């Protein structure tokens, strides 16, 4: 059964990262994605959290690994 608090956990973790160092790294973004897909799909609330996170990231400040992760995530979210 789906844990309805997954999107809340994702929001909390992303807020912690942004508060701590003003952005996310690829590992932190990956952890958010893992939370979203641990039940086999991404629900609308989880998708919204991920889209909000990506919107907060400054493109010119992304390192290559994070930029690649963001592009992969955009492709995944197109299917949901």
Q: Which residue has the higher pLDDT, 7 or 1?
A: 7
Burial 25-44 (b: 16+ CB within 10 A, else e): ebebbbbbbebbeeeeebee
Distance in angstroms between the alpha carbons of the first and the last residue of the chain: 19
pLDDT value, residue 2 = 52
pLDDT confidence of 61, banded at 50, 70, 90? confident
Residue range 39-45: average pLDDT?
Answer: 92
Cα separation values, 45 from 20, 21, 26, 36, 63, Å: 24, 25, 21, 9, 27
pTM confidence score:
0.89
- Burial level of 7, CB count in 10 A (0-12/13-18/19+)? buried
pLDDT at 50 over 90: yes
Mean pLDDT, the chain, integer: 92
User: Domains of the chain: which residue ranges?
Assistant: 6-78
């Amino acid at each position: 059964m789906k844990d309805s608090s997954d999107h809340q956990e994702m929001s909390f973790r992303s807020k912690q990262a942004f508060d701590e160092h003003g952005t996310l790294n690829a590992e932190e973004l990956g952890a958010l994605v893992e939370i979203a897909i641990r039940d086999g799909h991404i629900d609308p609330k989880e998708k919204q959290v991920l889209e909000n996170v990506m919107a907060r990231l400054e493109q010119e400040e992304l390192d290559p690994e994070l930029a690649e992760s963001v592009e992969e995530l955009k492709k995944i979210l197109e299917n949901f």
